[in-house]
């Protein structure tokens, strides 16, 4: 694998797909205001696999949540294909989260009472009305099966989460995030609860999805070895971007 080479902070993708512009974000701890992000600018190109790395408390998860419209900035803008999206009505932001963004979290968030295929198909049940879902249920179930097959879990389709290993649950979460055919996959510490070998398998799966489907991926991690598997690395320190790396050709 090629070594990483440091690039200047001014280097950005040629064609921004997802963009953070001068983001500030603070939270309150009783009467005290705690700044988390301070003037963060970030551009992610379409089809890019980017790692966002930083120590605990650096603001990396907060930045990902802002980019995915799970939270709103105090100052600044989130743009998708050049258009601002963070200030849109709540219903429109909900639709963007369901249709444009896919989310993978460290703790899987699978519903324990549902089978694997039921967990994977859940975002489509949310997207469509009851009548639409039932009229298209065979098509949507086939799409869920396709996603499950892509992550190598066809043999687990009727199993519930408590019957799956940690790596299988994370693969299930990835399948669930992809069933809505998102443009951008946001992964927050996707290997954080996994052993080294299983984590390596998850990263290889993300790399394959990025390459084969031109899927834009932003992955948050604190693990340097994991971060360097992406095409580009952005380091966050005390709420600001410290430096950028890019994979050597």
The CATH code of the domain that includes 107 is 3.40.50.300
pLDDT of residue 14: 57
How far apart, in whole angstroms, are the C-alpha atoms of residue 133 and residue 136? 5
**For strand 49-53 and strand 232-237, is the pairing parallel, antiparallel, or unpaired?**
parallel
| This prediction's pTM | 0.83
Does residue 202 carry a pLDDT above 60?
Answer: yes
- C-alpha distance from residue 66 to each of 13, 179, 186 (Å): 20, 22, 11
In this prediction, residues 166-181 reach a mean pLDDT of 90
Per-residue pLDDT reduced to its tens digit, 215-231 = 999 999 988 888 999 99
* Per-residue model confidence as pLDDT tens digits over 76-133: 999 999 999 999 999 999 999 988 999 988 788 899 999 999 999 988 888 878 888 7
Containing domain of residue 8, as a range?
A: 4-247
What is the count of structural domains for the chain? 1
Structure confidence at residue 15 (pLDDT): 61
Residue 196 confidence (pLDDT) above 60: yes
To 5 degrees, how large is the angle CA 114–CA 179–CA 225? 95
């Amino acid at each position: 694998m090629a070594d990483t080479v440091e690039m200047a902070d001014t280097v950005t993708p040629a064609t921004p797909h997802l963009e953070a512009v001068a983001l500030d974000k603070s939270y309150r701890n009783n009467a005290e205001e705690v700044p988390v992000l301070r003037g963060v600018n970030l551009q992610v190109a379409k089809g890019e696999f980017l790692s966002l790395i930083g120590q605990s408390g650096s603001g990396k998860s907060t930045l990902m949540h802002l980019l995915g419209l799970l939270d709103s900035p105090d100052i600044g803008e989130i743009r998708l294909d050049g258009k601002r999206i963070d200030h849109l009505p709540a219903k429109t932001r909900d639709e963007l989260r369901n249709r444009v963004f896919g989310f993978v979290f460290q703790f899987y968030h699978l519903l324990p009472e549902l089978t694997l295929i039921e967990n994977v198909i859940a975002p489509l049940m949310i997207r469509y009305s009851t009548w639409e879902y039932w009229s298209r249920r065979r098509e949507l179930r086939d799409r869920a099966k396709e996603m499950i097959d892509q992550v190598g879990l066809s043999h687990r389709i009727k199993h519930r989460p408590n019957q799956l290993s940690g790596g299988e649950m994370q693969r299930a979460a990835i399948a669930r995030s992809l069933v809505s055919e998102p443009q951008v996959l946001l992964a927050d510490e996707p290997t954080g609860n996994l052993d080294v070998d299983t984590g390596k398998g998850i990263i290889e799966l993300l790399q394959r999805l990025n390459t084969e489907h031109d899927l834009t991926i932003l992955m948050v991690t604190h693990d340097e070895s994991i971060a360097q598997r992406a095409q580009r690395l952005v380091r966050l320190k005390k709420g600001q971007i410290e430096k950028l790396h890019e994979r050597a050709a």
